[in-house]
Chain A
Amino acid sequence: MDTTLELKGVTKRYEDFSLSDVSFSLPRGYIMGLIGPNGAGKTTLVKLILNLVRRDGGEILAFGKDVREDEIAVRSRIGFVHEAPTFYDHLSVERLASVVAPFYASWDAALFHRLARQFELPLKKVAWRLSRGTRTKLALALALAHRAELLVLDEPTSGLDPVFRRELLDHLLACIEDGRTSVLFSTHITSDLDRVADYVTFIQKGRILFSSPKDTLQERWAVGRRIRIHGAHRRCGCRAATARPVAGRHRAGVVRGRHGAFAVMPC
């Protein structure tokens, strides 16, 4: 299978936190949800992919090229949406697009205007007057208008109301319809994964606990209908008993059981 993004043994150390031996891959044309609690390392991972922070070890390949060595070639094919997107807020949406456009050889102005209409972006409005949801939509429109082959979104749905969130996820689904675009988005809202993700990567305290197709996870680790788990307990078969107390939570997390910590992903 053609791989869009591949991380091999990536490490990043801070004083109080470290990402250790992060490895996973995202095939072309699929959506991967990167899930984990706050402070697990999702944003750091996204920053590493965009080369905003320097990795201490390992390899990050996008389209088969190293994101650090072939920085410009790789980034010109990546669209990004940061958590709480920032722009030159004194500029109008239209002017912002004209500032960003020259950086991308494949920028499609007509596509941007089509997306702006679709997302109901007010072209003449200055960015600081836009709501959080509209800013995220603007960031997505800017990311899509240069026909990005990989979209990297850092918690795009956090802080959005359910209607906006649903719309945004629908747009992500529409993005991959062409079969060439892949999406990696981080979230801590598990219902987002259920809706759109083909692959799920769970990160906890800087370590990848699992990275698998969503269907495989559901088939192998579903407990009843409400919870999926992964961790030490799967080997001994005692997951059902320890999983029960967390059923009904709406966020992923870690539960301590007889055999140590394990990850839970409530549906």
Chain B
Amino acid sequence: MLKLLVRDFRVVRWDLWLHAVMAIPASRHAQALFVVGVALAIVLVVAVPGLEWMFDTDRFVCSLPVSRATLVLGRYLSAFVAVALGLAVWMGSAALLSRRFAGADPNLSQWVSLDGAVAYCVILTLVVALFLPCYFRYGLGKGAAVFAVGVMALGGVLAGLRWIVRAALGNVAPDLTAVDLDAARTLARFIWIAIVAAIATGSAALSVRFHRRREF
């Protein structure tokens, strides 16, 4: 699998990504910086599938002595390394901006925290977990369209769930504020990480299944 990670990082032209990295310090508003950081990581995740789609290298790659399952898991590994790199760049930029530039958003330092990192990782893991099965099932073009529809559907479902939960627990919420907030936050972090890890695992299994079925 490391061979595939090395392959992915050799294939990507890193010098071109420097332009994208430059966009981070340009965003001084905390939320904008977060969005740019997430967008950068998404671009990194999609870069190699994009190149493979553009140059139609699926047949070439699948003819190499690597099993389909390893190919898929290698792509997940590359994606998560890209997410980790994006996180490091974003966190580094945010920390630098909040300390060195007077004009930076005062809320910036709040984002450079464990909660900020968890939020970043949760969002991107969900993106990876949703995007890659679509990619391995349909290829990049159709897969991206299915992914977009899926994200919208998921957004709708989550908004609906939120509404239902608020409607059902509306009266309980004031009592919850009395609970030790730190403990609740720690629990929430673990629950998020567990849910996202389960989704990522399920996504990888699904992608392996899809890719094994694909014919080139």
Contacts and interface: CB of A to CB of B under 8 A. Distances in A.
A52 B64 contact: no
Interface in A100-142: 100, 102-104
Interface stretch (B7-15, B36-44, B189-197): B7-15
B65 A104 contact: yes
A40 to B, nearest CB: 18
Interface string B1-27: 001001100110100000000000000
Nearest to B54: A89
Interface stretch (B55-63, B78-86, B136-144, B174-182): B55-63
A88 B11 contact: yes
A104 B11 CA distance: 18
A99 B57 contact: no
A103 B59 contact: no
Interface residues of A, number: 26
A75 B64 contact: yes
B49 to A, nearest CB: 12
A90 B11 CA distance: 9
A265 B156 CA distance: 63
Interface string A160-187: 0000000000000000000000000000
A87 interface: yes
Nearest to A83: B59
Contacts of B13: 90
A99 B7 contact: yes
Interface in B47-76: 51-52, 55-57, 59-60, 62-67
Interface string B198-216: 0000000000000001011
Contacts of B60: 82, 85-87
Interface in A69-93: 71-73, 75-76, 80, 82, 85-91
A129 B11 CA distance: 17
Interface in A40-92: 47, 50, 52-54, 71-73, 75-76, 80, 82, 85-91
Interface in A13-60: 47, 50, 52-54
6 contacts: A75-B64, A82-B60, A86-B57, A88-B51, A89-B55, A102-B7
